[in-house]
A and B are shown apart, each in its own frame.
Chain A
Amino acid sequence: MLEAIDLTKKYGDFTALKSLNLTIKEGEIFCLLGANGAGKSTTINLFLNFIEATKGSATINNLDVAKYAKETKELLSYIPENLMLYKNLSGLENLSFFCGLGGKTQHKDELENLLEESGLQVDFIQKRVSSYSKGMRQKVGIALARARGAKVLLLDEPTSGLDPKASNEFSELLLDMKEKGVATLMTTHDLFRAKDTGTHIGIMKEGVLLEKFETQQVSFQDLEKMYLKHMHN
């Protein structure tokens, strides 16, 4: 579903991402761990075609994102660290607007249901987003991914700054999407969340994917040791 082949991004002499090879299949959640500047967000931006790859390719459903920008964007949904919506519109209006842009116009009742299923309190659905917490906005993001029928989720540190309860609720929603066959690439600093939610984990440092493995293969303690070892080297 998602594939990076020798994916490289350079800014002058600085290599932000070096020869990344990665495959994420349907129903997989790949968590990229790493410190700031490790190349995690660069990877997401390359899959979003926000930046051009220096070398290699990023594909979604076997379509190169650079060549098939519109087609690949129709398949994906993106939730950044801090999902910003239009403050003067309600969650429902935001959802309706972004769904419409993706050509997925849905009835108001269906959208309300989606928001509710995504965990947004009913009495907030019609309220302006200016009164939403970060967690509530992230839930609108999940509702949007569902409404659009996204096959791929690109999440850039989506639980950063969320309280444990909101973070847990978000993970539940991701697992639900995973069950529906959605392929997810999530960057995070949160080892616990990666172990708890991800099917696969990759550790990045200085633009290089140092390790990748299935979550089941390691315990949380091993993951922590492995991560710290890479960070200290």
Chain B
Amino acid sequence: MINSILLIAKKEIVIALRQNLIRILAVVIMVLLGVALYAGYVAYDQQKYSINNAEEREREEWLGQGDKHPHIAAHYGTFVFKPKTILSLFDFGLDTFTGTSIYLEAHYQHESMFRPAQDHSSMIRFGELSAALVLQILIPLLLIFLAFPAFTSEKENGTLRLLISQGVSYTTIIWGKIVAYISMVFVILAPFFMITIIGYAVLENSSTIPDTILRILLLLAIYILYLFIFVSLSVWVSMKSSTSRNALLTLLTAWILFTIIIPKTTANLGESLYPLPSMKIYREAIQKDITDGLDGKSHMRLRGKQLKEEYLQRYDVDSIHKIPLNFEGIRMQAGEDYGNMVYDVHWKRLKELFNKQNHISSLSSFITPYLAVRNLSMGLAATDLYTSIHFQKKTEKYRRELIRKMNMDMAHNSRYGEFYEYTANKKLWETVEKFTYQTMTASEILSLYSIEIISLCFWAGLVLFLLNYSSRKMKPVL
């Protein structure tokens, strides 16, 4: 049987390579893939260079900002950067929408932290040509053009009877064709995989090598499974169609539904069911809660008064001047803590909305395998929403620690009413460690995409069932 499968596969490849349409499509896709990878590399290289430079400059500026009051330093702030991973040159994901830098300063969660309220609704819109996009959308189109006549042409040309009369089973014919189409796509993709692997070996940070290897292998497995689903589906449709024209029309309709209409519809559905607040409303709500208190009854003046009383009681003094700390620093930190708490409440609500929208997208992968592979691909390339949120969480933690250090220094080392008279120096700035960001591990990412993994397995199982069932039911064309 294996010998027959290989023979059929070889025959299919020879016939396909003798067709101009297939040759032209293959060349176009190779060029697009090459251009996409090159564009990805250029963007990766430029951004990595810019980020490295900016990171060093930012650190130097932070350390070299001179002597000043810690609160002024807290407002002076600093930029932190999300490092580009090598796989982001393959799949740009949401990086274009989320950006890779965040400005950190006192009192304010940087705009990027709020940007989701404004921009995340459009995060699922894609337009840039990336290698991932070519693999997710264009290669399936090539596969459709390869596989749509798999059975119909055999029926139309009368070769199916001859094939069956040789004692070949439908199962053998099906697998011969699947092996052929997958092999052809693999030959087209092989040089690009090689380039990516070499690029990774040259460009990637050695500390992340094991995780990156795992990510590459997982991406490879996911894309092979995805393309297998498309090939099998195309062969099945060809089996069930009466003419090649019908098979092509059915498959092109399925392609448009899978890659354009369903993803757009589900994204719109998610937005309609779980609308995100506008940035203005989101900011105003946070500001209102900071001013009036989360319960609406604890105005910031009241909270300030309570804090003052608490400290007077704690140190058993009658004047704020008599406590051994600069109460202004304590008050600022308390204000910061309250602001953080309010922000966390609102951010949690916003994140729940994102998660609900994402859940719809994840569940929709049972309607189209494209969504499963798109989400998994972004996740493994560390350019997805979860990584973006993870990065924002880490930067926010870093910001809070930075501001806390500034406020506490002010509280412990200056006196109440003293502001411009007190200055901190480089020693304090050095206590704020350089921001480093490590993306989630591949296994952590995968755990967030269990629905997509299950859906890909479901699709693979479904096409295998359909092929198996139909091959048993198929009768020779008489």
Chain A interface (Cβ < 8 Å from any Cβ of B): 45, 48, 50-51, 69-70, 73-74, 76-78, 80, 82-89, 93, 97-98, 100-103
Docked complex: B2-31 residues within 8 A CB-CB of A = 3-4, 7-8, 11, 14-15, 18-19
Chain B interface (Cβ < 8 Å from any Cβ of A): 3-4, 7-8, 11, 14-15, 18-19, 157-159, 161-168, 475-476, 478
Alpha-carbon distance A82/B159, docked complex (angstroms): 10
Say whether B158 contacts A89, CB under 8 Å. no
Given A100-B7, A101-B4, A102-B167, A89-B14 contact (CB < 8 Å): yes
For A45, the closest partner residue in chain B by CB is B478
Given A50-B476, A51-B478, A88-B19, A83-B167 contact (CB < 8 Å): no
A-B contact pairs, 15 of them (CB 8 A): A48-B164, A48-B165, A50-B475, A50-B476, A50-B478, A51-B476, A73-B167, A80-B158, A80-B161, A85-B162, A86-B15, A88-B18, A88-B19, A100-B7, A101-B8
Q: Whole-angstrom distance from the CB of B14 to the nearest CB of chain A?
A: 7
Given A50-B478, A88-B18, A89-B14, A74-B161 contact (CB < 8 Å): no
Residues of chain B lying within 8 A (CB to CB) of residue A83: 158, 162
Say whether A50 contacts B164, CB under 8 Å. yes
Say whether B3 contacts A100, CB under 8 Å. yes
Alpha-carbon distance A45/B164, docked complex (angstroms): 12
Say whether B166 contacts A84, CB under 8 Å. no
Say whether A97 contacts B162, CB under 8 Å. no
Say whether A76 contacts B165, CB under 8 Å. yes
Q: Whole-angstrom distance from the CB of B273 to the nearest CB of chain A?
A: 51
For B477, the closest partner residue in chain A by CB is A50
Alpha-carbon distance A39/B168, docked complex (angstroms): 26
Say whether A97 contacts B157, CB under 8 Å. no
Alpha-carbon distance A78/B18, docked complex (angstroms): 28
Residues of chain A lying within 8 A (CB to CB) of residue B476: 45, 48, 50-51
The secondary structure that dominates the B interface is: helix
Contacts A73-B165, A97-B7 aside, 17 further interface pairs with beta carbons under 8 A come to A48-B165, A50-B164, A50-B475, A51-B478, A70-B167, A73-B166, A73-B167, A76-B165, A80-B161, A83-B162, A84-B159, A86-B159, A88-B14, A98-B162, A100-B4, A101-B163, A103-B3
Say whether B15 contacts A88, CB under 8 Å. yes
Alpha-carbon distance A71/B19, docked complex (angstroms): 36
For A74, the closest partner residue in chain B by CB is B167
Q: Whole-angstrom distance from the CB of B16 to the nearest CB of chain A?
A: 9
Residues of chain B lying within 8 A (CB to CB) of residue A86: 11, 15, 157, 159
Say whether B11 contacts A97, CB under 8 Å. yes
Residues of chain A lying within 8 A (CB to CB) of residue B14: 88-89, 93
Residues of chain B lying within 8 A (CB to CB) of residue A74: 167
For A82, the closest partner residue in chain B by CB is B158
For A72, the closest partner residue in chain B by CB is B167
Alpha-carbon distance A85/B158, docked complex (angstroms): 8
For B14, the closest partner residue in chain A by CB is A89
Q: Whole-angstrom distance from the CB of A154 to the nearest CB of chain B?
A: 8
Residues of chain B lying within 8 A (CB to CB) of residue A45: 476, 478
Say whether A102 contacts B166, CB under 8 Å. yes
Give the residue among A48, A84, A89, A101 with the most B Cβ atoms within 10 A.
A101
Q: Whole-angstrom distance from the CB of A99 to the nearest CB of chain B?
A: 9
Say whether B167 contacts A84, CB under 8 Å. no
Residues of chain B lying within 8 A (CB to CB) of residue A48: 164-165, 476
Given A102-B167, A103-B3, A84-B478 contact (CB < 8 Å): no
Q: Whole-angstrom distance from the CB of A62 to the nearest CB of chain B?
A: 18
Alpha-carbon distance A84/B19, docked complex (angstroms): 19
Alpha-carbon distance A102/B476, docked complex (angstroms): 18
Residues of chain B lying within 8 A (CB to CB) of residue A82: 158
Alpha-carbon distance A45/B159, docked complex (angstroms): 15
Q: Whole-angstrom distance from the CB of B164 to the nearest CB of chain A?
A: 7
Q: Whole-angstrom distance from the CB of A157 to the nearest CB of chain B?
A: 14
Alpha-carbon distance A77/B161, docked complex (angstroms): 12
Say whether B157 contacts A84, CB under 8 Å. yes
Alpha-carbon distance A102/B161, docked complex (angstroms): 14
Q: Whole-angstrom distance from the CB of A16 to the nearest CB of chain B?
A: 11
Residues of chain A lying within 8 A (CB to CB) of residue B15: 86, 88-89
Alpha-carbon distance A84/B475, docked complex (angstroms): 18
Alpha-carbon distance A45/B477, docked complex (angstroms): 10
Q: Whole-angstrom distance from the CB of A14 to the nearest CB of chain B?
A: 15
Given A45-B478, A50-B478, A102-B167, A84-B158 contact (CB < 8 Å): yes
Q: Whole-angstrom distance from the CB of A183 to the nearest CB of chain B?
A: 16
Alpha-carbon distance A17/B163, docked complex (angstroms): 25
Residues of chain B lying within 8 A (CB to CB) of residue A88: 14-15, 18-19
